[in-house]
Amino acid sequence: MKLCLLFICVFTLTLSASSFAQQERVSFDLKNVSVKVLLDEIQKQTSWCFLFNPEQTKQLGKLSLRVENETVEEVLNRILKDTDLTFKFKNDLIMIVPRNEVEDDKSKKNIRIVGQVTDNKKLPLPGVTVIVKGLTIGTATDGNGRYTLTLPKAEKLSLLFSFVGMKTREVAYTGKDTINVVMQEDLETLDDVIVTGYATIDRGSYVGAVTQIRAEDIQVAGEATIDQMLQGWVPGMSVINKTGKVGGSPKIRIRGTSTLLGNQEPLWVVDGVIQSDPLPLPDDASPLSSEMDGLRETASNAISWLNPADIETITVLKDASATAIYGTKATNGVIVITTKKAKGDGLNISYSGNFSVGMKPAYRMYDMMNSQEHMRFSQQLWEDRDSYNQNILPIGYAGLIQKLQKKEITRQQFEQEYRKMERMNTDWFDILFRNSFSHAHNVSISAQGEKVSSRFSVGINSTRGEAKGNGMTTLTASSNTTFRLDKRLIIDLQLNGSYRETEDFAFGVSPYEYAMNTARDIPAYHEDGTLYYHEKAGATSFSIPNKFSYN
């Protein structure tokens, strides 16, 4: 027996030789040649090596054969037709053997499985690993997503399909020779890449300090903006809610305080677009001023228009390497947001909503004097001739004493008014506050096709704050459409709109401080139901603060 010796490459996965035999084609025109010459010609034009016994092939004699772009399998079938010889494939070898040996082998082994692997858009996936569960036998899909496996017979058999960025599929063999598989995207693998706003970079290639979280993991019912939800989620980032008012913007610091006179807020980037601050800092204004802080809390920040339900991921770039991407604007750090795109097949409609109720503050929560205790305390100060460290308004016990000294009232009237004030117990918290209530509703419609995918969403968020006169209503709408004109040309069209109305108080007005610092023996209303006024530092003021609206 004459052997053909070649170096054989060792593969980690055993590939089915017959599939390649169907793909490799040869062309030649030989006349009156031996089998060896003919097989040598095939070997020159392909990657196959032939193994045969010359004594067995003598029966073929001299051969004349004309071949035009035919597969190796077709040529061998023509040569060995009407003979007791056949061929079989093993690794990189084609062996010429007696036909009865192959029939005996078939009775012992071998099932052949073929199929195609695609994604949920019906696009073929090349390079998908296909292995037999529990064995080392496997293969990989070709450029068209197709695969072929030749396996030993077994009672139970399962194939595992795995690919980077896709969920691993396990499919049981049920006797069918064709198994086609559709693989789904694995969204959990988003952490393996970093979205910088201008590009998506592999995590292993990014050298900066970065934290990435999914929006759905941090969403909290009752919170209207994503910046309020970030508190406590990003290591090293400080999120301080300075106010309990509805719509208030928290103070976010990623890299500490880098300046005393300039802007200290991080840079916000949504789908690659830098967001501008709705309240740009004037050149002659100091961020240390309380007026500026109060206005900023009401006007909110650069992403107050964005619906949290439309957000997919949030990436925080925390170190100085972010300045290489965005320049000096990134001095205070960068927060990159990516919004949701169309998913799934066909038309999809989804709805999400939440309700939140909060209790208003009450005097039972605090250890404070009631009317009777405050009147007795004031009387004791007067009798002991003690003095306050600030001027006392002519209201309450102090006003009553002044009227008695000026003989505007008699002693009997004084006593009657004193008893009345003891029983007053004005509930400022009940007058100025209410139970908070908020509700949010979001509806999204998405459709995905082979060439066009689109997502449209609308949302409404209405929040009634604890303090009367403080509330917010936000309406948002977003639309993004992707056109896949070619493998190298993709067009994204995005449109966002929002309307936000915030009802707030004028600067310096704080219902909470008023309720905490105003004595309960002072009435809120006269007996006829009109507001009770009192003198304050020589000017008339309200006992209930007037409220202002900001739109």
**Secondary structure (DSSP) of 428-489:** HHHHHB--EEEEEEEEEEEEE-SSEEEEEEEEEEEEE-SBTT-EEEEEEEEEEEEEEEETTE
User: What are 356's two structure tokens?
Assistant: 């939140």
Question: How far apart, in whole angstroms, are the C-alpha atoms of residue 550 and residue 223?
Answer: 19
Q: In 92-143, which ranges are continuous DSSP H helix?
A: 99-108
User: What are 467's two structure tokens?
Assistant: 């303090």
Query: Cβ neighbours of residue 103 under 8 Å, at least 6 residues apart?
Result: none
Q: Can you give the three-state secondary structure of 294-342, one letter per residue?
A: HHHHHHCCCCCCCCHHHEEEEEEECCHHHHHHHHHHHHHCEEEEEECCC
- pLDDT at position 14 is 39
- pLDDT at position 543 is 38
The pLDDT of residue 83 is above 50: yes
151 DSSP assignment = E
What domains, with CATH codes, occur in the chain?
A: 17-108 (3.55.50.30), 111-185 (2.60.40.1120), 190-339 (2.170.130.10), 343-370+425-551 (no CATH)
The pLDDT of residue 540 is above 60: no
Determine how β-strand 193-195 pairs with β-strand 200-202.
antiparallel
Q: What is the pLDDT of residues 245-304, one digit of tens each?
A: 787 777 788 866 656 556 677 888 888 888 877 766 554 445 445 566 666 666 667 788
Chain-wide mean pLDDT for the chain? 78
Q: Which amino acid appears at position 474 of this protein?
A: T
- pLDDT at position 548 is 31
For residue 215, how far is the Cα from the chain centroid? 4
Q: Of all residues in the chain, what percent carry a pLDDT higher than 70?
A: 79
Q: Could you tell me the CA-to-CA distances from 436 to 244, 463, 466, 469, 485 in Å, in that order?
A: 11, 8, 5, 11, 50
Q: What is the pLDDT of residues 294-316, one digit of tens each?
A: 666 666 677 888 888 888 888 88
- pLDDT at position 85 is 85
Question: How far apart, in whole angstroms, are the C-alpha atoms of residue 35 and residue 349?
Answer: 67
Q: What is the pLDDT of residues 225-235, one digit of tens each?
A: 777 788 777 77
| Exposure class string for 414-451: b at 16+ Cβ within 10 A, else e | eeebbeebbebebebbebbbbebbbbbebebebbbeee
- pTM of the complete model: 0.55
Mean pLDDT of 106-125: 80
User: What are 288's two structure tokens?
Assistant: 């240390």
Q: Per mean pLDDT, which range of 125-129, 504-508, 547-551 is the poorest?
A: 547-551
Q: What angle do CA 119, 122, 127 make, to 5 degrees?
A: 45
At residue 308, what are phi and psi to the nearest 5 degrees? -60, -25
- pLDDT at position 56 is 80
For residue 494, how far is the Cα from the chain centroid? 18
- Residues shown for the chain: 551
- pLDDT at position 34 is 85
Taking each helix axis from N to C end, the angle separating 72-79 and 35-45, rounded to the nearest 10 degrees, works out to 170
pLDDT band at 434 (very low <50, low <70, confident <90, very high): very high
Question: How far apart, in whole angstroms, are the C-alpha atoms of residue 489 and residue 495?
Answer: 20
Determine how β-strand 267-270 pairs with β-strand 273-274.
antiparallel
Q: Could you tell me the CA-to-CA distances from 329 to 151, 261, 293 in Å, in that order?
A: 60, 15, 21
Question: How far apart, in whole angstroms, are the C-alpha atoms of residue 413 and residue 218?
Answer: 62
Q: What is the pLDDT of residues 366-410, one digit of tens each?
A: 888 999 998 998 888 888 876 555 666 778 888 888 888 888 889
What 3-state class would DSSP assign to 73?
helix
At residue 446, what are phi and psi to the nearest 5 degrees? -130, 145
Question: How far apart, in whole angstroms, are the C-alpha atoms of residue 237 and residue 234?
Answer: 6
Question: How far apart, in whole angstroms, are the C-alpha atoms of residue 324 and residue 206?
Answer: 12
